[in-house]
Structure 1
Amino acid sequence: MEYIRVTKDNLEKEHICCAISNNKDVQVSSKKAWLADRFDEGLVFLKSVERGKCFIEYIPAENAWVPFNADGYMYIDCLWVSGSFKGHGYSTELVDACIEDSKDKGKKGLCILAAAKKKPFLADPKFLKYKGFTVCDEADNGIQLWYLPFGNEAEKPGFRECAKHPHIEDKGYVLYYTSQCPFNAKYVPVLEQTAKENGIPFRAIHIASREEAQNAPTPITNYALFHDGEYITNEQMNDKKFLKLVNG
C-alpha cells in the first residue's frame, strides 16, 4: 500500500475522513481545523492513497487530548482500516510505520485506548495483543490504556485520577466531546435539538483545549455520554439511537 503523510501544506486537498467523501462537509472542515492546530504539536496523520479508508493518527503523549500520564510516549489517536481494506495487513503496516517513526524520535513506546472487548471507535484488543501491546491501566468504566514499551526500563503510563473513576455530579444527559471526531460537528447539534424537542435534560460540553481534555472526567474525550452522573457510552449517536437509549 502507498501512503501519504498529511501536513499543513496538503491538508485542504487530502481526503481525511473514514466515512465522509465531501471535503466541504462541516464535519470534514471541523476535523481539518482541529488537525491544522495539532501539526505544530507533533501530530502525524498517515493515510493510504485510497481516500480515507486506511489511516493512523498519532501525537506525542504530552500533547494528547487524553487525561493520562505518559510522558515520553507516542499516543495513537486513531487507527482505522475499513471495508475492503481489512484483512490485508494494512493495520500492521501503519502501526509499524508509527513504531519506526516514534523510535526515530526517541520515544519510550506507544500507547492507545481500547477495552477488553472491542468497542465502537476504539482499537481492537486482539490486534493490539498480536502487536505486543499490553494493558497498563483500566478505568472503572472498562476503558483500558494499552502500551507497547520500546525497552524494559520504560515506566508504565496511567490514567489521571479524574479519568480513572468516570463520574460527574450533573443530572440528566451530559455529553463531553471534542472536534477531533468529524461526526460531532453534525450529530451533536442533532442530539441537542432532539433533546429539546422531547423535553430531555441534556447538555453538551465542547472540550476546546488540550488542558481541558487532560483534566476531563473520562478517558475518552472525543465523545463520552453520561446520564445522572454515570458514564454510558462513547458511541456517536443520531436522533433515533439517542431516543432509543432514553426510552430504554
Structure 2
Amino acid sequence: MKIIKVDYHNIDMEHICCAITDKKGESCASLKKAWMKERFDDGLIFKKLDVRGKVFIEYIPAENAWCPVEADGYMFINCFWVSGKFKGQGYGNKLLEECIKDSKQYGKKGLVILSSKKKMPFLSDPKYLKYKGFQLCDVADPYFELLYLPFEKDAEKPRLKECCKKGVIDKMGIVLYYSNQCPHTEKYATLLTEIAGIEGIDFTLIKYQTKEQAQNSPAPFTTYSLFYDGKFVTNEVLSEKKFRNFLAERGL
C-alpha cells in the first residue's frame, strides 16, 4: 500500500477523519477539512496510507503550530495515528520516515510533538516515540510531555510557553477550550454545551479561531482542553456518558 499526500487537489475526495466513517460524521469532517485548507499555506502536511482507515500523520512548521510552543526551526507533529488492523505492520515507521524526510528537505532542526507521561487518549504514544529516538525537552501539568527528535547534536531544545505549564485559569465553573483541528471536537463541544444548559451548570465554551489564540493557550493541547474551577481536567474528548459521569463525580 502506498502513502499519499492530502492537499488542495484531493482533500475533498480523501477520507482523512479518524474514526468518523458514517454520514453523521460528514459535517464534522468538513470542519476539519476546512481547518486544513486554511493551514496549507502555513506549511501543513498531511500524509496517510491509501486506505479508508486511521493511518496518518499531520505536521506543520512549529512557528505555525496551534500549540503554545517555542520551537523555531522545528517541524511540529499535530497528530500521528495508526489504529485497528493497520497496527503492527510498519506503517507508523513509514509515516514517521516521511515526516523526517520532508522536514530535512525543508531544512528543519528536527521534530517536536506533544505527548504524555503515559499513553493518553488523543495523544501519541510516548513509549513508541522514545523508542524511535525522541527525547524529553519540557513538561506541563498535569501529565503533558514535549518530546523532540533533533537532527543535529547541538540543536536548541524546544520548550512550552509559561502560559500553559501550570494548567490553571482564573475562571470558575466548567470551561472548555477547543478547535477544529480534530473532527470530533465540534460535535461534542456542542453536545456538552447543551447538556450544561439543560442542567443549569456554569459552562463556558471557548473556540480557538486563530493560531495566535492557540499559541497563548492555558493548556498545551489546544484541540480540546477541559477545565473545572480553574484547574485542567482532561484533553480527552468526552462523550455524553463520560461528561455526565464527570458531572456526577462532582455533585453537579
Q: Same fold per TM (> 0.5)?
A: yes
Q: Which amino acid aligns with 2:19?
A: A
- Stretch deviating more after TM superposition (14-23 or 120-129): 14-23
Q: Which residue of 2 aligns with 1:176?
A: 177
- How much has 1:5 moved relative to structure 2? 0.3
Q: Which residue of 1 aligns with 2:100?
A: 99
Deviating beyond 4 angstroms after TM superposition, the runs of 4 or more aligned structure 1 residues are none
Q: Which amino acid aligns with 2:7?
A: T
Judge conservation of contact 1:225–1:233 (CA < 8 Å) in 2.
yes
Q: Which residue of 2 aligns with 1:187?
A: 188
Q: Which residue of 1 aligns with 2:140?
A: 139
1:113 equivalent in alignment to 2:117: no
Q: Which residue of 2 aligns with 1:219?
A: 220
Q: Secondary structure at the match of 2:123?
A: coil
Q: Calculate the TM-score normalised by the size of structure 1.
A: 0.98
The Cα offsets for residues 189-239 of structure 1, whole Å up to 9 and x where unpaired, read as: 100001111122111100110000000101110000000000000000122
| Aligned-partner Cα distance in 2 for 1:44–1:22 | 25
| Aligned-partner Cα distance in 2 for 1:176–1:27 | 17
The Cα offsets for residues 5-42 of structure 1, whole Å up to 9 and x where unpaired, read as: 00011110111011112477111000000000011110
Q: Which residue of 1 aligns with 2:19?
A: 19
1:230 equivalent in alignment to 2:251: no
The equivalences for 1:42-191 within 5 A come to 42-191=43-192
Q: Secondary structure at the match of 1:25?
A: helix
Gaps of 5+ in 2: none
| Aligned-partner Cα distance in 1 for 2:53–2:76 | 20
| Aligned-partner Cα distance in 1 for 2:182–2:155 | 30
Identity, % of aligned positions:
53
Q: Secondary structure at the match of 2:104?
A: helix
The Cα offsets for residues 36-88 of structure 1, whole Å up to 9 and x where unpaired, read as: 00111100000111114200000000000000100000000000111000111
Q: Which amino acid aligns with 1:126?
A: K
Gaps of 5+ in 1: none
| Aligned-partner Cα distance in 2 for 1:25–1:70 | 34
Q: Calculate the TM-score normalised by the size of structure 2.
A: 0.96
Q: How many residues align?
A: 248
Structural RMSD (CA)? 1.0
